[in-house]
Amino acid sequence: MHRVKLKVLGISYSQTQSGAYALILIEENGDRRVPIIIGGFEAQSIVIKLENLEPPRPLTHDLFKSFADEFNITLIEVMIYKLEEGVFYSRLLCNNGDKELSIDSRTSDAVALALRFSCPIYITEEILEKAGITITSSGDETNPENENETLYEGGNSGFESYSDEELFKMIDESVKTEDYERAASIRDEIEKRKKKKKK
């Protein structure tokens, strides 16, 4: 079975399912992307880690990581091994120092954990062929998922008119109230300004 390594590209609003998000994975050495519809909680958990935000209290995936660390359990890799009726199935390959164990997982949870354990994410070539989309030279995708409006990937954040000091206060408030999507957007604006100053 040929496997392909993936990395997390970002999170998009899903236009196909209300209140849902699309997790976008991309092959590490290629341009095929895999959109996976996930829930709001899992999207929030993934974004928090992507944006290196510190929640005031540990979320479920953070708790899992702390629990695993206490018992010397390591997550070695995530494997997306099946696609059935639009649902992706994943396995967590874990090691407790004595033996390796494979645990079934929802793909959204598996990716949230992979980010926390800094472990690789793999998919079978067969699933990537079936579910992958490719960006053409014109910038259009060869799959209807291009209807998604991408979050956390540039664009106007709506925070351009605020001062740096105001942005830092706003990001603290957003984290305290657990509005992580807003905090991530503010963080993007801060990072954008830092890059401009370096030029």
Q: Tell me the pLDDT tens digit for each residue of 7-61.
A: 999 998 765 566 788 899 999 999 899 989 899 999 999 999 998 898 889 999 9
User: Which residues in 45-96 belong to E strands, given as ranges?
Assistant: 74-84, 87-95
| Structural domain spans, the chain | 3-150, 164-198
Q: Distance between CA 189 and CA 126 in Å, rounded?
A: 39
Topology classification of domain 3-150: Bifunctional nuclease domain (3.10.690)
Q: Distance between CA 138 and CA 166 in Å, rounded?
A: 39
The model's pTM is: 0.73
Of 29, 4, 24, which is closest to residue 143 (Cα–Cα)?
24
Distances from the Cα of 156 to the Cαs of 91, 96, 185, in angstroms?
A: 37, 45, 10
Q: Tell me the pLDDT tens digit for each residue of 57-97.
A: 999 999 999 999 999 999 999 999 999 988 999 999 999 99
